[in-house]
Amino acid sequence: MFRQLTYFFIAMIFSPNIFCSESVNVYSYRKPQLISPMFIAFTEKTGIEVNSIFAKKGMLERIKNEGRNSPADIILTVDIGRLADLKNADLTQQVSLAQINKNIPENFRDKDGHWFGLTSRARIIVASRKRVSEGSINTYESLVNDQFKGKVCTRSGKHPYMIALTASIIAYSGEEKAKQWLYGLKNNLARKPQGNDRAQVKAIHEGLCDVAIINHYYMAMMLSDPEQKKWAESVYVIFPNQDGRGTHMNVSGAALAKYAPNKKNGLALLKFLSSNEGQELYSAKNSEYPVSGKMSRSSLLESWGEFKQDKSDLNKIADNREAALMITDAVGYNF
C-alpha cells in the first residue's frame, strides 16, 4: 500500500496534466530556494508550470536508471565537469536555437548544443587580512612561491572545481607545466586537502593557513551567515592572473534531457533561462555572474568591481579534465 501511494505521489508531481494544462519537469543540483524565483517568473510569463526535484548527488545515475521512462525535461547542474559527464553518458540531446546561441557566449556552451552555461563563477584566491600583504599574490602560479610554504589550503585536488582549474592551466601552459604547478602547490599546503570551500576560509580565520582557493559566491554565502561572517571578514578577495589570461571561470548550466517528455516546454524554459531576465534572476539569487552582457549584479559583486575573466572555451576545459585527474594522481596531491 505504501509503495502504491509513493508511486501515486510521484505521478502527481510529474504528470503534465494534473496541476495545469502545460508543465515542465526539472531535475536540479541546485537547492529549491536558489531556483524558485526563476521558475515563478517563467510560469507567470508562459503559463507553464515547473515541477522540480533536488538531488545533491547521484543525478546522473538516477537518470540513467530511469532510461526512456525518465520524467526529466531539463537538468540544472553546476560545474563544467558535471555538464560534460551528462553529455558523455548520452543523457542529453542537442538543442539548436538561434535565441539561445545569441544569449549565451560560444565559450560558455557545448560545441554540439548539449549544454548551456547560465551563470558563471570565478575561482578566486582569498588571503588573510592580518598575515598576507595585498599585492603579494596576483596569479594562481604565485601560490607555489617559497613565501607560502605551509600556508596554502585547498579542498581535494580531485573535486570537480579543482580539476577544472587544473584543466584550465593545461589549456594555457600544457600538461608538464600544469604538473609542476600542482606539485608546487602540494608542497606549499598547510594540511592535507579537505573540506569544502567554506572550510578553507574558516581555516584561514583560525590561523591554520594564510591563503586558499575558492569559488567566489561562497564569500556571499558566508557574509550572510551569522556564524560564518567572521570567517569571510578575515580574508580579502583576489582575482588572479589579471595581467595574463584572466581569472578561471566555471558555470552553472542546463541541458535538455534525452527523453524529455515535454520537449517543447523544456525548450521554452531553456530560452527563458538564457534570456537577460532569466540570467539576472539566477545570478542575483546565487551571487554569481551572468554569462552574457553587463547585467545587474548583487551589491557584493559590484563592490568587487570589474575583472578580467579567462575566456577559455569550456569545451577545451572539459576535454582536459581526464589529463588533469591523471596529473593530480601523479603528484599525489591528496597525499
- Contact call for residues 70 and 259 (beta carbons, < 8 A): yes
pLDDT at 3 over 90: no
**Domains recognised in the chain with CATH numbers:** 21-120+250-296 (3.40.190.10), 122-248+310-330 (3.40.190.10)
User: How many other β-carbons are positioned within 10 Å of the β-carbon of residue 68?
Assistant: 7
Q: What is the DSSP letter of 310?
A: P
Instruction: Give residue-wise pLDDT tens across range 156-198.
Output: 999 999 999 999 999 999 999 999 999 999 999 999 999 999 9
For residue 11, what is its C-alpha cell? Answer: 505521478
SS3 call for 196: coil
pLDDT at 292 over 80: yes
User: pLDDT at position 335, please?
Assistant: 87
pLDDT above 70 as % of the chain: 93
User: pLDDT at position 15, please?
Assistant: 43
- pLDDT confidence tier of residue 141, bands split at 50, 70 and 90: very high
Mean pLDDT of the chain: 92
- pLDDT confidence tier of residue 57, bands split at 50, 70 and 90: confident
25 closest CA partner among 68, 60, 64, 75: 75
SS3 call for 51: strand
Q: Provide the pairing of β-strand 249-256 with 116-128.
A: antiparallel
pLDDT at 135 over 70: yes
User: How many other β-carbons are positioned within 10 Å of the β-carbon of residue 33?
Assistant: 9
154 closest CA partner among 210, 194, 100, 122: 194
- What's phi and psi for 237, nearest 5 deg? -95, 140
Nearest-10 Cα torsion for 316, 319, 321, 323: -110
**CA 162, CA 157: separation in Å to the nearest integer?**
5
- Cβ neighbours of residue 13 under 8 Å, at least 6 residues apart? 51, 53
Inter-CA distances, 82 with 89, 197, 215, 315, Å: 11, 18, 16, 12
- Contact call for residues 280 and 295 (beta carbons, < 8 A): yes
56 closest CA partner among 76, 81, 28: 28
- Cβ neighbours of residue 20 under 8 Å, at least 6 residues apart? 47, 48, 49
Q: Provide the pairing of β-strand 235-238 with 211-215.
A: unpaired
For residue 181, what is its C-alpha cell? Answer: 604547478
Q: Look up residue 240 and give its amino acid.
A: P
Segments in the chain forming alpha helices (H): 2-14, 32-46, 59-66, 80-88, 98-103, 160-173, 175-187, 197-205, 217-223, 229-233, 263-274, 276-286, 299-304, 314-319, 321-330
**CA 138, CA 144: separation in Å to the nearest integer?**
12
- pLDDT confidence tier of residue 20, bands split at 50, 70 and 90: very low
- pLDDT confidence tier of residue 296, bands split at 50, 70 and 90: confident
Q: Look up residue 96 and give its amino acid.
A: S
Q: Which residue has the cell 567554506?
A: 198
SS3 call for 276: helix
pTM check: above 0.85: yes
**CA 335, CA 329: separation in Å to the nearest integer?**
9
- Rounded to an integer, the average pLDDT of 125-153 is 97
State in Å, rounded, how far the first CA of the chain is from the last one. 50
SS3 call for 212: strand
User: pLDDT at position 16, please?
Assistant: 39
Compute the C-alpha angle 263/264/266, nearest 5°: 60
- pLDDT confidence tier of residue 34, bands split at 50, 70 and 90: confident
